[in-house]
Structure formats: structure tokens, C-alpha cells
Amino acid sequence: MAAPRYFTVTWDQLHRDSKALAWRLLELGPWSGVVAITRGGLIPAAIIARELECRVIETVSIVTYDEEKRGEPVLAKPPSAAGDGTGWLIIDDLVDTGTTARVVRALLPRAHFATIYAKPAGKPLVDTFVTEVSQDTWILFPWDTEAQFIAPIAKSAPAAR
């Protein structure tokens, strides 16, 4: 198996991509509220809710990751205010394998599901997304990273022959 690819998303890029998603969602509204999938969907949901002038924000928490290892999904907090999802917009940063998306879809079957990034395995579960990335790409979001010194490539590469 090949090593995973890493794609670093900056705060500026996340903001631009969240606004791009808001533009796509604008004509589909108005929305009764936004359901942010925590934790990754919180910041995109805040940006999108602002752009769509939506003041009602609910959260749903599905725990599926421990660092970079996947586990069985556990509902940590249901989206009680959203009912069956009618008129509601679900926002997440990424749909990966679709594990979280399937759980949230079952909870809110009538909601519109939107993510900024989508991988092929999860893409069919969302209604709207901005950017598709390969399944073997690990996205490094700005809340998961910090700026630090990295040695030049020449110092870490094997000696040239």
C-alpha cells in the first residue's frame, strides 16, 4: 500500500472554499437552519451560516476517528432541533469513507448535505461539495496543524548519484 498523500489547507483557503460552497447553496435555500457536524464542520458551518444569513445553528457529533485510525461511529450528540432535516443544511469539512455521512443521513434524511471536500467513497452521500480529492489523500486542516520549520528537501533526500 502506498504512503498517504497529504494536502494542507490554510485558513485562507478554508475560508475561500467555504464561501464557494455558500455560493452553491444560496440558490437552494432559504434554510431553516444549519447542522454542523462536529468538530470539522464547525468552522465551515459558521462561515456558511454567515454568508447565507442563517442564524439557527445546531450540531451533531459522530465520533469515528482517533487520530488517524478509524473506528465504529458513535453518536455523541444528536441534532435534536433539526427534526427529520426538512429545510435544514448539514455542513461538514469533508466526506471521506461515508461512515459519518451515513449516520447523519439516517438521523436527518430530509436535510441537504454539503461538504467542502469529498473523496470518491463518500461523494455519493453528499448533495453538494466544492473539491474532490483522491481517497488516499489525508487533508491537514488548519486546526490540526501549526507552522513549523521544515528542513530543505536536499537535506532529507538520499544522496544524488
Active site residues: 92-93, 96
Contacts of 9 by beta carbon, 8 Å cutoff, 6+ apart: 17, 139, 140, 141, 142
Tell me how far apart the alpha carbons of residues 73 and 99 are, in angstroms, rounded to a whole number. 7
Tell me how far apart the alpha carbons of residues 29 and 156 are, in angstroms, rounded to a whole number. 51
Locate all alpha helices (DSSP H) within 82-143, ordered by sequence.
99-107
Cis peptide before 16 (omega within 30 of 0): no
Instruction: Give kind and range of the element (H or E) at residue 61.
Output: strand 57-66
